[in-house]
Structure 1
Amino acid sequence: MKISKKTDYALRALFTLVDAYGKGPVSIRELAERNAVPKRFLEHIMLDLKAKGWVTSIPGARGGYQLAKPPEKITMGEIVRYFDGIIAPIECVSVSGYQACSQEAVCRFRRVFLDARNYVTLLMDRSTLADVARGAPVTGREVFSQGFIGGEGI
């Protein structure tokens, strides 16, 4: 699974708003700067987030964006599906993006992708923005753990 830049930028902005939840709006300029996102691209993303009811905008000099729902009511799965469509790693194990494959009746590796879809979907749908915000950032040590070294393309 690989998320798009749009999803990445949406999540960055949302987590900035989670940190500011209950403290007032955050300007589009500040959202863009704090998250290293091009402002014009972020403006479109914020309109999408607003259309879904996840954020609201406050006009004026002290205005900006804030969460429209508590962070406990928004999941990572919702965000990823909205911007990227499907979470499944291949189309033959997707519910909404299903595409038949000529090898389905005999394919054995498809099961691994189905298990991966089920695990990732469960994790994403259980992970609210509030839950994720309470966690610690991932360290380089975790990313390059010896258990995964040698698995090029990870």
Structure 2
Amino acid sequence: MLTLSKKSRYALLALTRLAKDYGKGPILISDISISEQIPQRFLETILLELKKIGVLGSKLGKTGGYYLIKKPDEVSLDDIIRHFEGSIAMLYCISEKSYQPCEFCKKEENCKIRNVFKEIRDNTVSVLKKTTLDQLID
């Protein structure tokens, strides 16, 4: 079964929490950890990664914490999942980022299996690109 890593799932949970309170100021890591049931140390590394890629900002001090730099409708699931997971493709021969020739096909362009999985990849990417954090808010 193909699944998202815990890191991706926790990132999406944390970002959804931050999106709910967008514009209200920073949120403490401990508050996100408790409300989303994410181990705090693991959450710290995830939030730092999201800060490095320009999705989050942080503020130190008593009123500190993390906040979204971009509006929730400007952060797509594609941005987040590709960062944490890398390629979306289920086969290397259709990957845009990690392409490797197929060891089973003589001519990739004629491979029916490849064509089906390419369509799955394209549809998945399309949905992830058009789905933004604001759509995940209850």
Q: CA RMSD in A?
A: 1.4
1:86 equivalent in structure 2: 87
User: How many residues in Structure 1 have an aligned counterpart in Structure 2?
Assistant: 134
Indicate which of 99, 108, 121 corresponds to 1:117.
121
With normalisation by structure 1, the TM-score equals 0.82
Structure 2 letter corresponding to 1:52:
I
Question: Which segments of 5 or more consecutive residues in structure 2 lack a partner in the other structure?
Answer: none
Task: Report the 3-state secondary structure (helix = DSSP H, G, I; strand = E; otherwise coil) of the residue aligned with 1:2.
Answer: coil
Name the counterpart of 2:111: 107
2: CA distance between counterparts of 1:14 and 1:127? Answer: 13
Q: Could you tell me how far 1:92 is from its partner in structure 2? A: 1.2
> What is the aligned partner in structure 2 of residue 35 from structure 1?
36
Q: Secondary structure at the match of 2:103?
A: coil
Q: Give 3-state SS (helix, strand or coil) of 2:112's partner.
A: coil
Offset of 1:101 from its aligned partner?
A: 1.1
Q: 1:129 is aligned with what amino acid?
A: L
Counterpart-to-counterpart distance in 2, 1:22 and 1:40: 25
CA–CA distance in 2 between the matches of 1:8 and 1:90? 22
Specify which structure has the higher proportion of helix.
Answer: 2
Secondary structure of residue in 2 paired with 1:98: coil
Aligned residue for 1:109, secondary structure, equals helix
Q: Distance in 2 between matches of 1:25 and 1:63?
A: 6
Q: Which protein, 1 or 2, shows the higher relative CO under an 8 Å CA cutoff with sep ≥ 6?
A: 2
Comparing 96-105 and 120-129, the one that deviates more: 96-105
Q: Distance in 1 between matches of 2:36 and 2:91?
A: 30
CA deviation after TM superposition for structure 1 residue 132, in Å: 3.1
How far apart, in 1, do the equivalents of 2:81 and 2:92 lie?
Answer: 16
Which runs of no fewer than 5 residues in structure 1 stay unpaired? 137-154
Residue by residue over 1:44-66, the C-alpha shift from the partner in whole angstroms, topping out at 9 and shown as x without a partner, is 11110111111111111221111
